[in-house]
Amino acid sequence: MLNYIWFGMMAIALTVGAINGTLTDVTQAAIGSAKTAVDIALGLIGIMALWLGIMKIAEEGGLIKILARAIRPLARFLFPEVPDGHPAIGAIMMNVTANWLGLGNAATPLGLKAMEQLQSLNPTKDTATNSQITFLAINTASITFIPMTIIAIRSELGSANPFEIISTGIFASTMACIAAIIASKLLQRLPGNKKSDPMLQNLDAKEVNNG
């Protein structure tokens, strides 16, 4: 789908440029933007390597497990279907930590790992569970305490004070995350949701068998 969207945007830009006689400007802008993107990406290598290394040290040193235990009460509220001690909680914590640091690129593989762990608990593989939907909402609208990627980009582009966005970033991302969680939890209460959630169906079946 994204390929079609990008193709459509490029086709529209080229068509409008040809109609307005600015096709040369469109081409030059595309080439210039591509060069800028490469320059920014190269400038991000150092800071991304630094924080990915810190994340790996935290993982190997057991800090991630400590943080996972610390947020266990919150995890029970957000993901009540996930059993205590399941690897999914640790994977979610690693993803959330990467997002807290603003490391979107580093958070992506960690998020995929967390979703893979949640999928292992899903009895119906072609239907997302409430836990998967809640995690997706949190991952998409995550709180960002230190937006390192944005800070690095601002610094690379010559900002006088690249760190000045931290306070507003924390506020905006916190409000977005709270709104995402509230929306997810409210939608889960809609009639028929319990029937459509495969994990809840599985838990209900176990309760009936045990009863």
The angle that helices 87-100 and 104-120 make with each other, rounded to 10 degrees, is 160
Give the pTM.
0.61
Residue range 157-184: mean pLDDT, rounded: 89
Token pair listed for 13: 């830009």
Would you kindly state where each structural domain of the chain is located, as residue ranges?
45-196
CA distance 204 to 207: 5
Distances (CA, A) of 142 to 124, 146, 156, 173, 202: 27, 12, 24, 6, 29
Tell me if residue 102 falls in helix, strand or coil: coil
Residue range 128-154: mean pLDDT, rounded: 85
pLDDT given at position 135: 92
pLDDT in tens, 97-137: 778 877 666 677 778 888 988 998 888 888 888 889 999 99
Alpha helices (H) along the chain: 2-20, 23-60, 63-70, 72-78, 87-100, 104-120, 130-140, 148-156, 166-188, 193-196, 198-210
User: Is 94:55 a contact under the CB 8 Å cutoff?
Assistant: yes
pLDDT higher than threshold 80 for residue 15: yes
pLDDT interval class at 179 (50, 70, 90):
very high
pLDDT given at position 176: 92
Non-local CB neighbours of 90 within 8 Å, separated by 6+ positions: 64, 65, 68
More confident residue, 22 or 41: 22
pLDDT higher than threshold 60 for residue 210: no
| Residue corresponding to tokens 């690095």 | 152
CA distance 173 to 180: 10
pLDDT given at position 183: 92
User: Is 102:150 a contact under the CB 8 Å cutoff?
Assistant: yes
Q: What percent of the chain has pLDDT over 90?
A: 7
pLDDT given at position 80: 84
Token pair listed for 49: 């390597």
Q: Estimate to the nearest angstrom the gap between the alpha carbon of 36 and the chain centroid.
A: 25
List the end-to-end C-alpha distance of the chain, in Å, as a whole number: 47
Count the neighbouring beta carbons within 10 Å of the beta carbon of residue 72. 13
pLDDT given at position 192: 66
User: Is 93:139 a contact under the CB 8 Å cutoff?
Assistant: no
pLDDT given at position 48: 65
What is the rounded average pLDDT for all residues in the chain?
79
